[in-house]
Amino acid sequence: MPLSVADIQAPIAAEMELFEQKFRGQMKSDVMLLDQIMNYIVKRKGKQLRPMFVFLMAGVCGQITEATYRGASLIELLHTATLVHDDVVDDSNYRRGFFSVNALWKNKVAVLVGDYLLSRGLLLSVDNGDFELLQIVSKAVREISEGELLQLYKARRLDITEAIYYEIIRQKTASLIAACCAVGARSAGVDPSIVDKARTFGEKVGIAFQIKDDLFDYGTAEVGKPLGIDIKEKKMTLPLIYALNKAGFLEKRRVINIIKNDSENPKKVDEVITFVKNSGGIEYATQAMNSYVVEAQSLLNSFPESTYRQSLHQLVQYTIERSK
């Protein structure tokens, strides 16, 4: 029977509960509309995987401190800000199955809410002198923006190689999980070399996490993400890149033509999905994902043994075995 988030969270259950209280307090505002939106966001939070990475890595590195709580809040504030802004950019009306902020309160309000969340994160760090934590997370936010722009640029030309794909997902997804682990380690007061090792571990987990997300595009599981949505959005993911690299000239041209011109046609999208499956793209991407997991677990084993380390191992497995 697969582990639940609650099982994995066991060594930090009390800390996560206290974090919830502290984070709710940091989301408060005297402006009624803003407070209403903050409550809406907090009530619809996900599994809290990112704060879990922060707290478990702090535990692995020695101790969970007040800086750990602030670091986890900083990550959540800045991450939530990027999600609110993303929904405006993508003109998306839903987030995790619920209406997005822009769907309920329109784009102008959503952009201002994202700005507010960014400023709360910045002030939380500056007011407490957490400049190293702020530097770690700010670098991740910069990389997320760069990764998004690189993907948008490449989507127009559909010429993404494996190397560029990995650079995009390293920036877009892995940089934030890497920041979570680096923040956790730094908040525990360890040497820079250990912080860097924690960051590298998080980056490998993040790459595996994104490949798993890309694989959902070709499956049938109910993941809150419609089948073939990446193809419709002209996103070149690892299974598709591999399949195109294996294809002959005419077949490759046919598939690229579908993605460029017929990505709104469900039958044509199904053709691309079948093409990828028949070309071994799913197996290739799964093997790549598992390789990153093995590297991450090996790095984690170089830290002292503890219940925190055991839970981190489980959390890594959870990220690639999840069904959504």
C-alpha distances in angstroms, 100 versus 4, 83, 90, 301?
27, 9, 11, 40
Q: Look at residue 153 in the predicted model and tell me its pLDDT.
A: 81
Residue labelled with tokens 């505002």: 29
- The yes-or-no verdict on residue 225 having pLDDT over 60 is no
- Mean pLDDT in residue range 184-190: 95
Which has the minimum average pLDDT: 50-54, 58-62, 169-173, 228-232? 228-232
DSSP for residue 13? H
Q: Look at residue 217 in the predicted model and tell me its pLDDT.
A: 80
- The yes-or-no verdict on residue 319 having pLDDT over 90 is no
- Token pair in block for residue 185: 């380690």
Max avg pLDDT among 82-96, 188-202, 209-223: 188-202
Contacts of 214 (CB under 8 A, 6+ apart): 230, 237, 238, 239, 285
Closest CA to 269 of 279, 261, 259, 277: 259
- Mean pLDDT in residue range 209-230: 71
Q: Look at residue 323 in the predicted model and tell me its pLDDT.
A: 66
* CA 72 – CA 78 distance, rounded (Å): 10
Q: Are 168 and 147 in contact (CB under 8 A)?
A: yes
Q: Look at residue 226 in the predicted model and tell me its pLDDT.
A: 52
- The yes-or-no verdict on residue 190 having pLDDT over 70 is yes
Closest CA to 175 of 208, 137, 215, 212: 137
Q: Are 4 and 47 in contact (CB under 8 A)?
A: no
Q: Identify the band that residue 228 occupies on the pLDDT scale cut at 50, 70 and 90.
A: low
- The yes-or-no verdict on residue 104 having pLDDT over 70 is no
Which has the minimum average pLDDT: 13-17, 152-156, 298-302? 152-156
Query: What are the strands, taking DSSP E only, across 132-214?
Result: none
- Mean pLDDT in residue range 43-65: 89
- The yes-or-no verdict on residue 322 having pLDDT over 80 is no
The per-residue DSSP string of 261-291 comes to: H-TT-HHHHHHHHHHHHHTTHHHHHHHHHHH
Q: Identify the band that residue 230 occupies on the pLDDT scale cut at 50, 70 and 90.
A: confident
Top-confidence residue, 137 or 5: 137
Closest CA to 47 of 8, 88, 90: 8
Max avg pLDDT among 85-94, 97-106, 207-216, 290-299: 290-299
CATH number of 5-321: 1.10.600.10
Q: Look at residue 222 in the predicted model and tell me its pLDDT.
A: 43
Model confidence pLDDT, tens digit, residues 82-103: 887 777 776 676 666 666 777 7
Top-confidence residue, 141 or 109: 141
Mean residue pLDDT across the chain: 86
State the first-to-last Cα distance of the chain, in angstroms, to the nearest integer. 17
Model confidence pLDDT, tens digit, residues 303-313: 999 999 999 99
Model confidence pLDDT, tens digit, residues 122-162: 999 999 999 999 999 999 989 998 998 888 887 777 778 89
C-alpha distances in angstroms, 13 versus 18, 56, 85?
9, 11, 31
